Chain A
Amino acid sequence: MAEGTHYIDKNEEVIKIRGLYKSFGDKHVLRGVDLDLFKGENLAVLGRSGTGKSVLIKIIIGLLQPDAGSVIVLGEDVNQLSYPALRALRLKVGFSFQSSALYDSMTVGENLAFPLRRNNRSMTKSQISKTVNTVLEAIGLPETINQLPAELSGGQKKRIGIGRTLILRPEIMLYDEPTSGLDPITSTELNNLIVNVRERFNTSSIVITHDLTCAKAVADRVAVMEEGKFLKIGTFDEVFSTQEGLIKSFYDYNFTQ
């Protein structure tokens, strides 16, 4: 984990999940998940594909509804919120998609300005433009402002996706597989960006990944998920000091091979 000046408040949970269940048809994806994310903390959720990691953060942001259990985000129960209240909560929670999900008919600048324009109707054009430039500087891509998403590389798209989320100044960031499909150098740049985002924007984050290098670089704690449950939660060294079958094989695959 990169060194920084951040402070983790272990008395303040920004996300509190209890007894979370979710099924799709006969496929039981989440089977009783409990999780806490503390203020200022970066937590990596590790696991193989299809173990329910992405479903977990989609439930946190209210894109999916759980079958059972509670999700408290910044003191509010996501499942009990009305649509306007949920939208208000979403202003405080950023979500970075695995596919980046950039609006392909808009330029990078427009992609970043869009959520700002929609949610801050009182902002002037020059204020929006200034904020867009600040965020593009923060993610290290000011030169892409007039480019279309189709003209960007995979890593650039991911960074712009994160930038579009950051423009609303969220308190919590949810990253869905930020380094998937990227080369090791670009992955390292993205890991650094995630760490910098926490330092610069004061966020708490959940990073969904199956990349142990990413987890080690960005997370204060890691949680290993298997078949819809957490096998172990702790610091990277605590979790991977075990000789437990799946966790050990996960570690060996990433670092030994």
Chain B
Amino acid sequence: MSSTNGKSDKPVINGKIDRFFLNFYNIFDFIRRLVREAVRPPIEWGEFIRQCYQVGYKSLALVTVTGFITGVVFTEQSRPTLSEFGVTAWLPSLVAIAVVRALAPLIAALICAGKVGSSIGAELASMKVTEQIDAMEVSAINPFRYLVVTRVIAMTVCLPILMFYNALIGCMGSYFDVHAHEQTSLVAFFDNAFAQITFLDYTTALTKSIVYGFTIGVVSCYQGFNATQGTLGVGKAANISVVVSMFLIFIEEVIIVHIFNSIR
């Protein structure tokens, strides 16, 4: 039940610390409900596909441009150093390792946090403050299932796809730069590039993008679904969705890299 209990409880420790722990509990409860609702049939296929279109297809242009530029810039920046040691032949593998292991998951996630996370936060917050979510509740529709579950799953599914696409485009950008300077063929470039990439690298990238996608989905849906304060709350939800998602992505990056390096 969507309930608002306004009992005037006195702070247990002090207002801010209480709020911090309450918020922490609420997020935990939100994720618990998300998991519970996600595994319960029927699946909202229509809304899920619509969200995949919003998250995936509508982010493609941005992911393509940033991926390409990343590949070109990273290659340009690495060439002088490798050239000093006479190993410019390592450029494809260096770029591929950097792109697959670190850059593509991070760039795809940051783009989605900025573009999709803010949009989800604002959309749900706007629905909340204009009572559209309550309208679903009173029409016997489960808004959590329809709005939140579909968006979080779409983010979690689409981000890995965008990440691999971003990595591919990054390598293509690198190829164009390498080809311009060293006249390498496409086949030779990709042979060289992917020779050094292991299964664990793909697993790391996949794990990262799944975790980042889930994080962006949960954070932005939580902010939107719990928005208050009218139009001010809409802006706030969009803003906090982006800031908190990006912050958590960087923290998760450190943790995941540490875990995978320890098993490498």
By a beta-carbon cutoff of 8 Å, the part of chain A in contact with chain B is 22-27, 61-65, 67, 83, 86-88, 90-91, 93-95, 97, 99, 101-104, 114-115, 118-119, 121, 164-165, 168
Contact = CB atoms under 8 A, between A and B. Distances in A.
A167 B196 CA distance: 62
A24 B228 CA distance: 15
A64 B6 CA distance: 10
A23 B140 contact: no
B195 interface: no
Interface residues of B, number: 22
A118 B47 CA distance: 12
B50 to A, nearest CB: 10
B138 A61 contact: yes
Contacts of A164: 135, 139
Interface string B133-173: 01101111110001000000000000000000000000000
A95 B137 CA distance: 10
B6 A101 contact: no
A22 B8 CA distance: 11
A62 B141 contact: no
B1 interface: yes
30 contacts: A22-B6, A23-B8, A24-B4, A26-B8, A27-B6, A62-B1, A63-B3, A63-B137, A65-B4, A65-B5, A83-B1, A87-B142, A88-B140, A90-B137, A93-B138, A94-B138, A95-B138, A97-B134, A99-B131, A101-B130, A101-B131, A101-B132, A101-B134, A103-B132, A114-B139, A118-B141, A118-B146, A121-B42, A165-B139, A168-B140
Contacts of B5: 65, 67
Contacts of A90: 137-140
Contacts of A93: 138
A83 B139 CA distance: 13
A97 B131 CA distance: 8
Nearest to A86: B1
B7 interface: yes
A119 B138 CA distance: 12
Contacts of B6: 22-25, 27
B77 interface: no
Contact of A87 (B4, B130, B132, B140): B140
A87 to B, nearest CB: 4
B135 A103 contact: yes
Nearest to B126: A104
B141 A65 contact: no
Candidate in A67, A94, A118 with the most chain B CB atoms within 10 angstroms: A118
B135 A25 contact: no
A223 B6 CA distance: 25
A168 B139 CA distance: 8
B128 to A, nearest CB: 11
Contact of A63 (B2, B130, B140): B2
A87 B130 CA distance: 21
B137 A115 contact: no
Contact of B7 (A61, A67, A115): A67
Given A67-B5, A97-B134, A103-B135, 19 more contacts: A25-B6, A25-B8, A62-B1, A62-B137, A64-B3, A67-B7, A88-B140, A101-B130, A101-B131, A101-B134, A104-B130, A114-B139, A115-B139, A118-B140, A118-B141, A118-B146, A119-B141, A164-B139, A165-B138
B199 to A, nearest CB: 43
